[in-house]
Amino acid sequence: MNPAAALHRPPRRPHAWAWLFGASQLAVIALWWGYGWRVGLPALLLTHLVLVWATLRPQSRLLSPVLTRLPTSERVVWLTIDDGPSDDTPALLDLLDAHGARATFFVVGARAQVRPAQLREIVRRGHGIGNHSHDHPSATFWALSPRAMRAQIATAQATLAELAGMPPRWFRAVVGMANPFVAVALKEHGLARVAWSARGFDAVLRDPARVVARIERDLAPGAIVLLHEGAAHGRNAETLALLLRRLDALGYRCVLPEAMEALPEIAFTRHSRPSTGSGQAGLRPGGNPVA
């Protein structure tokens, strides 16, 4: 099997969660009937808390498959950049070119409509694009109804396919939170959900050194790195520049998952658990690079 195809896993049974949740509620009824509210009520709360946890945790696989890292022992990472296109996009593309790096831009459909040339430039330069919703409702995405969720994903998918000339294959939930209704829309459009294994909170932190130090703590072969563009503090390009320098120093390459087929077969291990250490080089606690 093509390794890249093995990574791309749209939901096959998008309603499985409903059957499992229904079975759990039947169990709760049985417990309540047999042992009273002192057992039944905690069981009811626990089953609902599990559903909430699965929605709010980006890496949870309970509601749909999600890719959190590339299963390889090679020193490669997948850079993913959310929230564009933006004023930062041209500078980010130039930085990636300068380091021979590839990234996937998880773009917002409505923002791509405003900046179609930037979207096409992303593709022209050999980077990937992903679906990141139509208009990025960050406060409410996790709680959208089935109809609203399907509209967010379908509208963005149609927009990006038209503007870029190809439909995205990857999806990232807004703020990473995917409620039970995401899976149906992903299956309809052949989208696979992507989370991350390393992040530095660059959407809110102004200091690039702090952001890169946070990312570096979680660097490992196959890490999926979460970055952003267009943040209000205006320092996303500086952050990417520093991160690319650190990755070069640590011997990491930035690849797209589609390029995994080019790696040696022995390096592609679905069940490998590489060390999370980042090697001898690193950042001091204060954020200063170690030579």
pLDDT at residue number 220: 97
| Cβ–Cβ under 8 Å, residues 279 and 82 | no
- What is the rounded average pLDDT of the residues 1-15? 80
Residues near 160 by beta carbon (within 8 Å), at least 6 away in sequence:
107, 109, 112, 119, 129, 131, 167, 168
Query: Is 82 considered catalytic here?
Result: yes
- Lowest mean pLDDT, pick from 2-11, 96-105, 133-142: 2-11
Give percent above pLDDT 90 in the chain. 86
Structural domain contains residue 47? no
pLDDT score, position 4? 58
- Residue 242 falls inside a structural domain: yes
- Whether residue 190 has pLDDT greater than 80: yes
At 259 the pLDDT is 82
Verify whether residue 88 is a known catalytic residue.
no
Given a contact cutoff of 8 angstroms between Cβ atoms, the answer to whether 206 and 231 are in contact is no
Within a domain: residue 18? no
- pLDDT value at position 272? 41
For residue 3, name the pLDDT band (cuts at 50, 70, 90).
Answer: low
Q: Which of 8, 48, 82, 88 is catalytic?
A: 82
Q: What is the pLDDT of residue 260?
A: 74
Looking at residue 266, its pLDDT comes to 40
Q: Rounded to an integer, what distance in angstroms lies between the CA atom of residue 101 and that of residue 160?
A: 23
* Segment 11-31 mean pLDDT: 95
Domain that holds residue 159: 66-267
Q: So what's the pLDDT on residue 289?
A: 33
Average pLDDT over residues 247-270: 75
Nearest Cα neighbor of 129 from 173, 80, 192 is 80
What is the per-residue pLDDT for 6?
81
Omega within 30 of 0 (cis) for the link into 14: no
DSSP helix/strand/coil, 113: helix
State the average pLDDT for the chain: 90
Number of domains in the chain: 1
pTM here is 0.88
Which is more confidently placed, 4 or 171?
Answer: 171
- Quote the tokens at residue 256: 């797209």
What pLDDT is recorded for position 270?
43
pLDDT (average), residues 189-215: 98
Across 263-273, average pLDDT: 46
Helix (H, G, I), strand (E, B), or coil: what is residue 102?
coil
Does some domain include residue 122?
yes
Q: Which of 88, 202, 228, 233 is catalytic?
A: 228
Indicate whether 29 belongs to any domain. Answer: no
Strand partners, 130: 106
Q: Is residue 23 part of a domain?
A: no
Residue 72: CB partners within 8 Å, gap ≥ 6?
221, 222, 260, 263, 267, 268, 269, 272
CATH number at residue 102: 3.20.20.370
Q: What's the rounded Cα separation, in Å, for the pair 154 and 63?
A: 19
**192: in domain:** yes
**Helix (H) or strand (E) run with residue 65 in it:** none
Task: Confirm whether 82 is domain-assigned.
Answer: yes
Higher model confidence: residue 264 or residue 170? 170
Question: What mean pLDDT comes out for the span 48-72?
Answer: 96
In this structure, is the dihedral angle defined by the CA atoms of residues 101, 102, 104 and 108, taken in order, positive or negative?
Answer: positive
**How confident is the model over 6-35, as a mean pLDDT?**
95
For residue 263, is pLDDT > 90? no
In the predicted model, what is the mean pLDDT of residues 184-213? Answer: 98
For 17-23, which contacts have Cβ atoms below 8 Å and span 24 or more sequence positions?
17/51, 17/54, 17/62, 17/63, 17/64, 17/180, 17/183, 18/180, 21/47, 21/51
